[in-house]
Structure 1
Amino acid sequence: MNPKLIKFLKIILPILLGVFLIWYFLKSATPAYRKELLHSITNADPLWIFCSLTLGIVSHLSRAYRWKFLLNPLGYTPKLYNNFMALMVGYLANLGIPRSGEVLRGITASTYEKVPFEKAFGTIVSERVIDLIMLIIITAIAGILQTEYLLGFLKEKNINPLLTLGIILALILIGFLGLQLLKKSSHTLIIKIRDFGMGLWEGMQSVFTMKQKWAFLFHTLLIWFLYILMFHVVKFAVPDLRDASIGVILVAFVVGSFSMSTTNGGIGILPFPIVVGAVFVFFGFEKSDGEAFGWILWGSQTAINIVIGALSFLFLPILNKTKKNIN
């Protein structure tokens, strides 16, 4: 099969599958349920949606500012507006191809701030490692707060925690052995990959060499606090979810985060509105209210990311051309 066709299918099929699943879930629902869902969405309090959007934008600004702490030890002092627009262009790209936004963000930094791509991408990988650690911590907190519910669920589904842990450890071991083989190989392609990896590692090491470690930590905590708060305030937009505890919100947040990270911006085999809605149903809330929450949060954040991402794509060359002319 044509490689270009295979690449195209890898991009388009998850999107089509996500759209189909959303259509199927809505189509298979009863007219009464669809009416309830529409009622919950259209009667949502816009004030809280606006609050959620504002918190989301502030979190993006904080992430853009934090990126400077990783690039400074490498000898680069990027402009905040370039960092922010690179970030938003990346979010826009992720709606089409999962994780492509990180690559585009690195390319943008290379184009407009003259940061070598592998070093810029290395700092982005560092960010993702930190983000993963934060998500694991939040997942653990959510699990502790909802231990009774979650243990009951695992027992009901016959999921063996020890077997799951064993599989994870086996995958880590395989990855470690693979890295050892790469280090010893003298193949030309492997050497190029290894050199690229060294550039990534140099970018990742900036976490340990930065001078503003406490500022970096502050912005990391601020970003994730804003993420959770952005998620939490939406419950006030749906009246019947106002009693949802912080434990329920954290579980929904974790599930939603995994949906966003494994799909095209929340559209795919695990559609964000559906899986987040399922969490609320699991904890005893109405399905229509839970999915309304998911649709409101996902729809509003996706819309604002599209708008700001498109504007960033437009203004990046304009602002940097102006700056070049002034210089």
Structure 2
Amino acid sequence: MRLTTKQWIQVILSMAIAIWIFWFLYKDISFRSLQNALRETSLFWMLASVIISLLGFYLRAWRWKILIIASEKSELKTSVTFAGLMIGYLANLLVPRAGEVVRCGAVSKMNDNQVGTLVGTVVVERTIDLLFMLLTVFLGFLLEREMFLSLISDLVSTESLLNKLLGMLPVVIGGGLITVIFLYLLFQKYRESNLIKKVRHFIRDLVSGIFSLRKVENQWGFWGSSVAIWVIYYITMIFVAWAIPSTASLSLGAILMVMVMGSIGMLAPVQGGIGTFHALVAFILMAYGLSNEEGKIFAVIIHSVQVLTVVVLGMACLGYFFKITSDKTSKSL
């Protein structure tokens, strides 16, 4: 994937912000403290967290595969979608949000699927994941209601926020209408151009991918794997909490809140959630009584293990990708 100058600027800027947040968080944490925490960390539970997370990656790849098959009615191996998924995660560590496009391109090259359709299935995936994330936040609210309300009252004035939203509503509606009218007029003027035809073809494939959810034959498998993915994410967080002495005594509800905050931190447009993940996880752990140092060390350990896993698997899957594509090139000659 080639980046324009503007995109390179965005990448460098997001990386600079991530590094600055990370430095600001950890500038007062001594390396010796991190060494001591690592020495006390249970290797057994840490390895268990990695193994269970691998199952989560596999389920994501399998779920994506059945979406693609429903959309294109084509043969596809889970190993191909797994490779595409991990290559995409690897790309996200370099360019925020690029992984979604990269993984579609990788699978398209390995299995000759339409990129537009693949992007549509990814949109479905992300929509479902957002739904489950909201359900997880709601579950966290039910289990840790007092802590949740305390955090919200400390961070945001609900009345002030509501007044600001109501004040901005006319501007948002007006701006949206103007944008829609402008795009419609632009489309009418250039509807027969090659670029517009390509865009229309891409959108048609995209919509086809989105509606592929209705065509999935294994609905139990799709929704069951969607639930299992988030359960596995939670179990991974539990295993890491048990691995580190300072967090081993946290309640299951508290660990769920850590998972919620970590998920929100990963949504930020920075490489791999660097900085934002650490800040939110450390923040919620301090709310549960851990020290500033303990919260930040937990965040850096769990994030580093996740990143290392993605890098190792991503590089291995890149090798698989090059093997598949080179074999296809050789056969076509």
Q: TM-score, with normalisation over the residues of structure 1?
A: 0.88
Change (3 A) 1:107 1:30: closer
User: Could you list the per-position Cα deviations for residues 158-191 of structure 1 after superposition, in whole angstroms to 9, with x for gaps in the alignment?
Assistant: 4216458758988996797556764674143666
Paired amino acid for 1:313: L
Does the CA-based 8 Å contact 2:105-2:115 persist in structure 1? yes
The answer to whether structure 1 residue 247 and structure 2 residue 253 are counterparts is yes
Counting aligned pairs with the same residue, the percent is 27
- Hey, what's the Cα distance between the residues in 1 that align with 2:61 and 2:80? 9
User: Could you list the per-position Cα deviations for residues 280-306 of structure 1 after superposition, in whole angstroms to 9, with x for gaps in the alignment?
Assistant: 001212222222221111111101110
Change (3 A) 1:229 1:251: same
Does the CA-based 8 Å contact 1:182-1:190 persist in structure 2? no
Find the counterpart in structure 1 of residue 44 from structure 2: 47
What's the RMSD between the two structures over aligned residues? 2.8
- Hey, what's the Cα distance between the residues in 2 that align with 1:302 and 1:208? 34
Displacement of 1:5 in angstroms is 3.5
Does the CA-based 8 Å contact 2:116-2:206 persist in structure 1? yes
Find the counterpart in structure 2 of residue 76 from structure 1: 74
Paired amino acid for 1:267: I
Does the CA-based 8 Å contact 1:183-1:194 persist in structure 2? no
Does the CA-based 8 Å contact 1:41-1:292 persist in structure 2? no
User: Could you list the per-position Cα deviations for residues 233-272 of structure 1 after superposition, in whole angstroms to 9, with x for gaps in the alignment?
Assistant: 101111121121222212211221122222210225x2x2
Does the CA-based 8 Å contact 1:85-1:309 persist in structure 2? yes
User: Could you list the per-position Cα deviations for residues 141-167 of structure 1 after superposition, in whole angstroms to 9, with x for gaps in the alignment?
Assistant: 112222212222332334216458758
Find the counterpart in structure 2 of residue 237 from structure 1: 243
Find the counterpart in structure 1 of residue 19 from structure 2: 19
Does the CA-based 8 Å contact 1:102-1:124 persist in structure 2? yes
Find the counterpart in structure 2 of residue 186 from structure 1: 188
Does the CA-based 8 Å contact 2:110-2:324 persist in structure 1? no
Q: Name structure 2 gaps, 5 residues minimum.
A: none
- Hey, what's the Cα distance between the residues in 1 that align with 2:58 and 2:151? 38
- Number of matched residues? 320
Q: Name structure 1 gaps, 5 residues minimum.
A: none
Displacement of 1:35 in angstroms is 3.9
Does the CA-based 8 Å contact 1:89-1:104 persist in structure 2? yes
After superposing the two structures, state which structure 1 stretch, 40-49 or 163-172, moved more. Answer: 163-172
The answer to whether structure 1 residue 125 and structure 2 residue 123 are counterparts is yes
Find the counterpart in structure 1 of residue 99 from structure 2: 101
Q: TM-score, with normalisation over the residues of structure 2?
A: 0.86
SS in 1 for 2:147: helix
Find the counterpart in structure 2 of residue 264 from structure 1: 271
- Hey, what's the Cα distance between the residues in 2 that align with 1:158 and 1:221? 31
Change (3 A) 1:247 1:221: same
Does the CA-based 8 Å contact 2:123-2:210 persist in structure 1? yes
1:284 aligns with one of 284, 289, 300:
289
Paired amino acid for 1:232: I
Change (3 A) 1:155 1:55: same
